[in-house]
Structure 1
């Protein structure tokens, strides 16, 4: 029979998990899904009348597409998109009637506890990849330094587990920063993201040692292509608790796995 201390620990753990989930639900509902859907090209290109396909409205494939995305089945996802293109559907129709309802459906599954956070991040990452493939980009962010510190938080390519990065991003947001959780999964897409918007700080979460091999080239590419020529790069993640490295080795400005320290660094970078 559990004793009083164990019950107290269970209550604390449950409370922490609930708070963490609430925070993640806010980020997903208010940022990840809207960011996935609200691209400049989306609104501009939909002004052109849809000429392919008899009726508008969600395609019947969108639930299967959602499942393939959340399960990480990129082959199946691209096969479905290829088949629709072969049938003569326009990119606009695929975007509007397949990806849009699929992203919303994924959010609904998350809200109802019918899928995990890993499912959501994996699904959004694959949808994001398809969006880039169809020629859509997010271009609605700020392009010059604003009143708020602007931060992009992402994972090093090779990881689709955005849990840690999302929590850190939400903490930065609570400190008053404008935070973008970038769900892109390749270096090319991350570079395109920093080129499209102004960021004062880029935070990169690194999970495993193999990601360190390409981390310097990623950092250099992000700095070289950033809309802010003085952007700062902050590295973090579990791997930095296991290896003895310095930020300079990767062309970054600082490495930190301490949340309070990261907050202070964010404020320091904002004043420069």
Structure 2
């Protein structure tokens, strides 16, 4: 009996010890959740809220978000702006394009890592392609064609993609050499283009543009080729497009197709 009683007492004691260990483990787990995990989750939640609550109508704020390594819903934030009543053309011209220029300036001024800028621009370009694809679907062809290209040596080509979309939305057939190594003189000599649009951002590239435009006119099959220039250089300096051999300056992508159409209509009336 004594041995049996001792065995029962030892078994009971073992159960008590197991229960105490389980309660201890739960207490430790509760402490970890309360003292470590919850504060970190709350901090992460506050950071996400502050990031998404940033004023996306400010190009500098958007540029900062694009450089932020933390994930955020860029598409959702931009869609919210559109749902709030911001027109798509203003979103592209007043927010996305200036943000791209800001990223490029930060790289040129060596205030930001090149890889971070590249990744930020990649996110911006993917968003722009999605937005512009919807804008272009309603286009009605006009039979007019435009060749778009950056000035030789130019690295800022994001704006050309937006410009190309505005021309396509207006029904133009667009050839964009922003990411192409094709020779524009050959294209102008082999095909027919009503307009050529050239973008210039950097002062150092201005002499190249002055030399390029007369050469493109000589190469063109179209003797009445209309040359349109644009970009931050002209906005910043107020330079006369005629000094470069161009016919007109377009201050933004919204006005460029209308300016080009008006120029061709005048040519038609003159003929």
Please tell me the TM-score bracket, short chain as reference.
Answer: 0.3 to 0.5
Q: Mark the structure with the bigger radius of gyration.
A: 2
Q: Could you state the TM-score of these two structures normalised by the residue count of structure 1?
A: 0.48
Greater RCO (CA < 8 Å, at least 6 residues apart): 1
Q: Could you state the TM-score of these two structures normalised by the residue count of structure 2?
A: 0.48
Flag the structure with higher helix content.
2
